[in-house]
């Protein structure tokens, strides 16, 4: 059967380095670090005392107080980023067939802080079970796409994808395929996460996954640097409006880029560690390229998963040559997590936005905080260290890998009618 083309017609972002897409992009190309001491709770007894929190975010600037109190922060972030993307896409809700508009949203954890606070409240009480009546709907990951659909009257496909840090990239791939196969004309797709909480920092500290560079938070996220010591936890949300090409053209929509492929794979190796030979990473990039029906030599830029962990960065870097061969040395490679931190289930969405804007703006954001060469990583690779680089970008790839060995990869192409 003939698959329909899918284009991106709207973007929304709420990130530690900018609360809108333009602010986020300026933060990226200027190499701004979003890391700072934690303000949400007293972290003085934790191994890690910093994170990439949102700056100046007040949910009541975007929704009434009554509604905001019914939602965990991750769902608030979903509302804000999707509102921006829907507005950016200029979708006329009164004239649109809302039976043909769906929402597919990713979250690796969902309402972590809600669950944490309810349990802490019960434990500190007199034994009488008193729980917030909204505890369950605030906690479940699928409430985010549910609320987006309720807010806008979208009656198309609606569900959440959960694959740890690959969750929102999975959502984008599902959105691609639902439109390709004719099940929807528009999919509101992306992800959100709010893991900067007592249990989030404590849990990742217990795994020895987080950087403990408390004396210098802004340089703590340093992908591919020899002295990296773990990732920096981030939060926020990102949204892409995916649309059938013919539908977009008919309504005269602005088109950012074409979504040409998505790949999935599993490491089938370990709960939290990547396969040391990068087998899953190799396979997911190959699957994505095959799905897009392009040559590997067409790819110009890759926004890597690049979390700043010892094992993960080496495995992913090793995988690149197996996929791209000598072409690798003519590409730009970067990790925007060096600036935003790791947004877990929302990472794929905001990093896809960075890839799209690399195409439209002809600029590759940097991998900041690089100071020391790692002998395990090929130094002929252009990791776009420390400052943005201008270049013509026709095809951009974005990688996301999650605990459990989940791998997802998406490919965007410069739009040509």
Active-site amino acid positions:
165, 305, 342
Contacting residues for 120 by C-beta, under 8 A, at least 6 apart = none
Cα–Cα distance, 292 to 412 (Å, whole number): 9
Q: Tell how strand 395-402 and strand 301-303 pair up.
A: parallel
Q: Which two tokens stand for residue 135?
A: 């505890």
Classified as helix, coil or strand, 310 is helix
Alpha-carbon distances, residue 237 vs 140, 191, 205, 324, 352 (angstroms): 16, 6, 23, 31, 12
Nearest 5°: the CA angle 392, 394, 396 is 105
Q: At what angle do helices 73-89 and 143-152 cross, to 10 degrees?
A: 40
Paired strand residues for 384: none
Cα–Cα dist 383/385, whole Å? 5
CA dist 384 and 396 (Å) reads: 14
Q: Which of 239, 235, 199, 304 is nearest to 81 (CA)?
A: 239
Rounded CA Rg of the chain? 20
Instruction: Name the token pair of 4.
Output: 């329909």
CA 115 to CA 228: how far, in whole Å? 32
Strand bridging mode 389-390 / 363-364: antiparallel
**DSSP structural state of residue 52:** B
Answer whether 244's CB lies under 8 Å from 100's CB: no
Q: What is the DSSP string of 74-95?
A: HHHHHHHHHHHHHHHHT--TTT
């Amino acid at each position: 059967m003939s698959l329909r083309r899918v284009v991106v017609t709207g973007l929304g972002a709420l990130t530690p380095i900018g609360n809108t897409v333009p602010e986020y992009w300026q933060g990226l190309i200027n190499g701004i670090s979003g890391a700072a001491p934690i303000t949400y709770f007293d972290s003085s007894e934790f191994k890690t005392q910093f994170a990439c929190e949102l700056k100046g975010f007040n949910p009541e600037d975007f929704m009434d107080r009554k509604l905001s109190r019914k939602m965990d922060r991750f769902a608030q972030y979903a509302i804000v980023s999707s509102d921006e993307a829907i507005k950016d896409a200029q979708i006329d809700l009164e004239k649109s067939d809302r039976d043909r508009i769906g929402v597919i949203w990713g979250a690796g954890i969902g309402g972590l802080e809600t669950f944490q606070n309810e349990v802490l409240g019960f434990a500190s009480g007199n034994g009488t079970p008193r729980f917030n009546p909204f505890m369950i709907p605030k906690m479940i990951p699928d409430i985010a796409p549910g609320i987006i659909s309720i807010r806008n009257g979208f009656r198309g496909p609606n569900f959440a994808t959960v694959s740890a840090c690959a969750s929102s990239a999975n959502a984008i791939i599902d959105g691609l395929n639902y439109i390709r196969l004719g099940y929807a004309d528009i999919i509101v797709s992306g992800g959100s996460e709010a893991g900067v909480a007592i249990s989030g920092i404590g849990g990742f500290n217990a795994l020895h996954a987080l950087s403990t560079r408390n004396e210098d938070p802004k340089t703590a996220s340093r992908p591919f640097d020899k002295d990296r010591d773990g990732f920096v936890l981030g939060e926020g949300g990102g949204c892409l409006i995916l649309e059938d090409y013919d539908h977009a053209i008919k309504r005269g929509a602005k088109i950012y880029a074409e979504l040409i492929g998505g790949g999935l794979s599993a490491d089938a190796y370990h709960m939290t560690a990547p396969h040391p030979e990068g087998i899953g990473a190799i396979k997911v990039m190959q699957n994505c390229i095959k799905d897009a029906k392009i040559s590997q030599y067409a790819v110009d830029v890759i926004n890597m998963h690049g979390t700043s962990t010892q094992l993960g960065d080496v495995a992913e870097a090793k995988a690149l040559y197996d996929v791209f061969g000598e072409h690798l040395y003519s590409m730009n490679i970067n990790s925007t997590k060096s600036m935003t931190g790791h947004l877990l289930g929302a990472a794929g969405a905001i990093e896809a936005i960075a890839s799209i804007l690399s195409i439209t703006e002809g600029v590759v954001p940097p991998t900041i905080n690089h100071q020391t060469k790692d002998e395990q990583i090929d130094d002929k690779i252009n990791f776009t260290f420390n400052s943005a680089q201008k270049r013509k970008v026709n095809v951009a790839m974005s990688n996301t890998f999650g605990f459990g060995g989940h791998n997802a990869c998406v490919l965007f192409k410069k739009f040509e009618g």
